């Protein structure tokens, strides 16, 4: 059976999203947990597993930088699908805790609950760990005066008591996950809906970014996301991540736009055409 990797351990939001995705496709994958997102992506790149589902952006906290950086620098993979996933964060502890002085979670989840934490636990020490489920695991192992911010599933798995529910600062807290493999294909729907591109233009030339954006405008291609990250070659050197809308009707225009953008860049990585699935849960 093929293997789908995700950020573990059991109980992460990533695992829940992976279980949902697997069910969408008739449970055709065996799920495999990894301790960090870099390792998941590299395992697919090296052919140790077939595919993976990793978070790429949250509606409150923004980009998942380790995903973007690893895609740009360390692996050669294609996006096959995007999953839009509602994230519910719960506060949990081992039995009854007299005073909570430590809040432990993944940095994304802590940031998604910043307002709640400032209001209710302004003095608490915030401890960042590799995933929300790992936080639950640590609290379950007996960390004193500590509560974890994690999923309801984590509370069940690690036998923790729910202290407060849905503590994220916005009830519409969603994370975009991307499904990646080595294959250039889109899955789950008839037609692709987006394309992701990573590129670097000449930052020393006035108007380089504008010239690239002008190509999308010229071919009437709508951009849904733009992001810059350091390209690790020195201060002030950036690469750009673009996501643009795609459809069968715009295929020719989009191909022309991508070719034109490539011409204006030092390098361009086409991450593939993919579908978008909104989880109905
Ligand atoms: O720690 C988890 O539970 C994860 O699955 C990771 C992660 C992330 O990296 O953004 C996934 C979804 C949520 O936004 C919070 C955390």
256: domain CATH number is 3.30.70.260
Q: Are residues 12 and 71 in the same domain?
A: yes
Choose one of 116, 147, 181: the last residue of a domain: 181
Structure tokens at 268: 């361009």
Q: Strand pairing partners for 91?
A: 149, 164
Say how many domains are in the chain: 3
Distance in Å, CA 22 to ligand 1 centroid: 18
Q: Are residues 21 and 71 in the same domain?
A: yes
Distance in Å, CA 133 to ligand 1 centroid: 9
Distance in Å, CA 36 to ligand 1 centroid: 11
Residue 160 maps to a domain = yes
* Residue pointed to by tokens 């279980």: 19
Looking at this predicted complex, what is its ipTM? Answer: 0.97
In this structure, the strands spanning 265-278 and 78-86 are: parallel
Tens of pLDDT along 97-108?
A: 889 999 999 999
Q: Is the CB of 106 under 6 A from ligand 1?
A: yes
- Identify the CATH number of the domain in which residue 67 sits: 3.40.190.10
Ligand 1 atom at shortest distance from the alpha carbon of 85:
12
Residue 186 maps to a domain = no
Q: Are residues 160 and 233 in the same domain?
A: no
Residue 257: count other Cβ atoms within 10 Å of its Cβ.
22
pTM: 0.96
Q: Is the CB of 109 under 6 A from ligand 1?
A: yes
Distance in Å, CA 279 to ligand 1 centroid: 16
Burial label, 270 (beta-carbon count in 10 A; 0-12, 13-18, 19+): middle
- Structural domain containing residue 211: 194-278
Burial label, 47 (beta-carbon count in 10 A; 0-12, 13-18, 19+): exposed
Q: Are residues 99 and 54 in the same domain?
A: no
Nearest CA owner, ligand 1 atom 3: 12
Q: Are residues 11 and 73 in the same domain?
A: yes
Tens of pLDDT along 106-154?
A: 999 999 999 999 999 999 999 999 999 999 999 999 999 999 999 999 9
Q: Are residues 148 and 213 in the same domain?
A: no
């Amino acid at each position: 059976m093929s293997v789908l990797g995700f950020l573990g351990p059991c109980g992460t939001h990533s695992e829940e999203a992976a279980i949902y995705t697997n069910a969408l496709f008739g449970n055709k994958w065996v799920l495999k947990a990894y301790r960090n997102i870099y390792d998941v992506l590299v395992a697919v790149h090296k052919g140790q597993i077939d595919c993976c589902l990793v978070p790429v952006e949250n509606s409150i906290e923004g980009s998942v930088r380790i995903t973007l950086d690893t895609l740009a620098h360390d692996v050669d993979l294609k996006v096959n699908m995007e999953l839009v996933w509602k994230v519910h964060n719960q506060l949990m502890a081992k039995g009854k805790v007299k005073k909570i002085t430590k809040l432990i979670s993944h940095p994304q989840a802590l940031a998604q609950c910043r307002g709640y934490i400032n209001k209710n636990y302004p003095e608490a020490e915030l401890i960042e760990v590799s995933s929300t489920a790992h936080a639950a695991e640590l609290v379950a192992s007996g960390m004193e005066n500590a509560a974890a911010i994690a999923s309801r599933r984590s509370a069940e798995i690690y036998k923790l008591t729910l202290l407060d529910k849905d503590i994220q600062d916005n009830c519409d807290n969603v994370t975009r996950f991307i499904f990646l493999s080595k294959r250039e294909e889109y899955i789950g729907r008839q037609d692709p809906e987006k394309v992701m591109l990573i590129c670097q233009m000449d930052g020393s030339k006035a108007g380089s970014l504008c010239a690239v954006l002008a190509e999308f405008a010229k071919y009437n291609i709508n951009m849904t996301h733009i992001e810059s990250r350091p390209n690790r070659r020195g201060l002030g050197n950036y690469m750009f991540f673009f996501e643009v809308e795609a459809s069968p009707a715009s295929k020719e225009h989009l191909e022309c736009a991508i070719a034109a953008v490539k011409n204006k860049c030092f390098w361009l990585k086409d991450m593939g055409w993919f579908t978008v699935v909104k989880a109905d849960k």
